[in-house]
Amino acid sequence: MDRILFGDNQFFAINHISEEKSRAQSIRFKDDVAIIKTLDYALDAGINTFMCTTHDRIANVCNHIRQHPAKYQHFKIYPCMPYAHKYANAVTELGYVGTLKQYVPGNFLSSIVKGGVAYLSKDFISIMQLLIDAEMKMFKGINTPVIWLQNVITDLLIGLGMKDLLLGFYEYIKKKYNAEPGFITMNMPKLLQLLEDCGIENPIICTSINKIGFRMPGGIELYENTLKKKKVRIVAMQVLAGGAIPHNEAVEYICKLPNIESILFGASTTSHIESTISSIHKYDYALNKA
């Protein structure tokens, strides 16, 4: 994985601290052109990986990338699925049956209708595979070397202790898409233990890592000890704790930690993109030199 990954929260008005910033971002990125322009800023600044949800508007971004193969020949996308809001909105607009018809193939839907709950309960992995395939259609022809399970599902499976589905996702992504499976979570130590119990070694996990313990269940000490003692490839997100930590201070802390393979950040301006990249390179260089 690249050291620096560019995220998509800012494009879809997701801000964990400020509703005012969310509204401003919603207005700023109401058109796809604005999203593509910001991605091009990141590309020009040296970022070659975009980690994003499977939001419907990402399909338009993918179309643009396919239409300009020379420009984006080294560009990678890390899809994160499922995009829960998409399914929630579909249920609101179409109802449960309508949502199933839209996202589940017809022959499989017929089996669900005939078998009911009993069918669903015994074939969760097959349903998961179908939904993965549905989500991945928009990325056809695009380099997707890492495919992520969103934390809304990962953490639900952790809570239920459903290791078989975590393993099912891992194996299907490797077999069907020849990609690395990644897991996004708000409980990295617990997830890592479950994955190790499944026989998954050195997994890729994206999780909140920051010096004030923002969205880090169990506290900073538990996370730091896990990073020191375990074999894991971490993508650090929410490193600024939603803006609660000064920029340079936040980046310096992350760069000093072991097993942080990549740093994920989102930005809506050229200056923010450039300053974040510069800070990461500065602290990486200083630590390597030391």
Q: What mean pLDDT comes out for the span 278-284?
A: 96
pLDDT surpassing 90 at residue 16? no
Rounded Cα distance, 55 and 94, in Å: 17
Q: What mean pLDDT comes out for the span 211-230?
A: 97
Per-residue model confidence (pLDDT) at position 117: 45
Per-residue model confidence (pLDDT) at position 289: 73
Per-residue model confidence (pLDDT) at position 121: 47
pLDDT surpassing 70 at residue 98? no
Helix (H, G, I), strand (E, B) or coil at 284: helix
Residue 47 C-alpha from the chain's centroid: 16
| Confidence grade of residue 119 (pLDDT, cut at 50, 70, 90) | very low
Per-residue model confidence (pLDDT) at position 114: 47
| Confidence grade of residue 85 (pLDDT, cut at 50, 70, 90) | low
pLDDT surpassing 90 at residue 108? no
Encoded tokens for 168? 């099912």
Rounded Cα distance, 210 and 135, in Å: 31
Decide: 183 and 163 in contact? Cβ < 8 Å. no
Percentage of the chain exceeding pLDDT 90: 71
Q: What mean pLDDT comes out for the span 166-188?
A: 97
Decide: 48 and 20 in contact? Cβ < 8 Å. no
Decide: 83 and 39 in contact? Cβ < 8 Å. no
Tokens 């990461």 label which residue? 280
Quick one: DSSP state of residue 269? Answer: S
Per-residue model confidence (pLDDT) at position 83: 80
Q: What mean pLDDT comes out for the span 153-162?
A: 92
The model's pTM: 0.90
Per-residue model confidence (pLDDT) at position 91: 59
CATH class belonging to 4-82+142-289:
alpha beta
Instruction: Report the 10 Å Cβ neighbour count for 82.
Output: 19
The lowest-confidence range among 82-91, 236-245, 247-256 is: 82-91
Rounded Cα distance, 265 and 253, in Å: 15
| Confidence grade of residue 288 (pLDDT, cut at 50, 70, 90) | confident
Pairing of strands 204-208, 233-237: parallel
Peptide bond into 217 cis (omega under 30): no
- DSSP per residue, 70-99: TTTTT-EEEEEE--HHHHHHHHHHHHHHHH
Residue pLDDT, tens place only, 52-76: 999 989 999 999 999 999 999 999 9
Using alpha carbons, select from 243, 150, 165 the residue that is nearest to residue 205.
150
Query: Residues with Cβ < 8 Å from 111, sequence gap 6 or more?
Result: 119
Per domain, the residue ranges of the chain are: 4-82+142-289
Percentage of the chain exceeding pLDDT 70: 84
Residue pLDDT, tens place only, 19-38: 676 777 778 899 999 999 99
In angstroms, the Cα distances linking 268 to 62, 98, 143, 264 are 19, 36, 24, 14
Residue 181 burial (CB < 10 Å; 0-12/13-18/19+)? buried
The lowest-confidence range among 84-98, 150-164, 205-219, 238-252 is: 84-98
pLDDT surpassing 70 at residue 122? no
Per-residue model confidence (pLDDT) at position 263: 98
Per-residue model confidence (pLDDT) at position 28: 87
